Amino acid sequence: MKVQSYLAFNGNCQEALNFYADLFNAEVKNRQTYEDKKIDVPSSFRQKLQHAELKGKGVHFMAYDAAPDTPINTGNQVHMSVDLNNKEEAEHLFSNLSSGGQVHHNFREREWGHFGRCTDRYGINWMVNCNK
């Protein structure tokens, strides 16, 4: 079995994936727009992403721009969790993810190691863990 995240965006999926690709040293793969799909979306939405994947060493998730008739509600139903073994790397990642977003729990030492929780500038919730 394989469990992975599928993130929905409100028209800025490509921008978000570019941000994550740089952050995680990953690549955007399987990029498909609504252009040739038989889906009822406005012509201004045809270049938005109907599907894409972010793949790299230790990272793989899917994402898309939800069609205009599918409202996106920011909530806490989905969190992406990242586990690292290097405290400085984890702290740097947390700093970049939370930049322009909202910090819910500062990255600091906890009972199990170092942990921080934030919502990034795209409304995605993140937990960054480091057991060292």
Q: What is the CATH classification number for the domain harbouring 19? A: 3.10.180.10
Query: Is residue 70 situated within a structural domain?
Result: no
- With cut-offs at 50, 70 and 90, classify the pLDDT of residue 79: confident
Q: Are residues 86 and 126 in the same domain?
A: yes
Condensed to tens digits (0 to 9), the pLDDT of residues 88-116 reads: 999 999 999 999 999 999 999 988 899 99
> pTM here?
0.78
Distance CA 9, CA 101 (A): 15
Distance CA 46, CA 104 (A): 36
Condensed to tens digits (0 to 9), the pLDDT of residues 10-37 reads: 899 999 999 999 999 999 999 999 888 7
**Percentage of residues of the chain with pLDDT beyond 70:** 95
Residue 123: half-sphere exposure toward Cβ, Cα within 13 Å: 13
Q: Cα-flanking dihedrals φ and ψ of residue 88, to 5°? A: -65, -40
Q: What is the pLDDT of residue 77?
A: 62
Q: What is the CATH classification number for the domain harbouring 102? A: 3.30.720.110
Q: Are residues 13 and 38 in the same domain?
A: yes
Q: Which domain holds residue 95?
A: 79-130
pLDDT exceeds 80 at position 3: no
Q: Are residues 60 and 90 in the same domain?
A: no
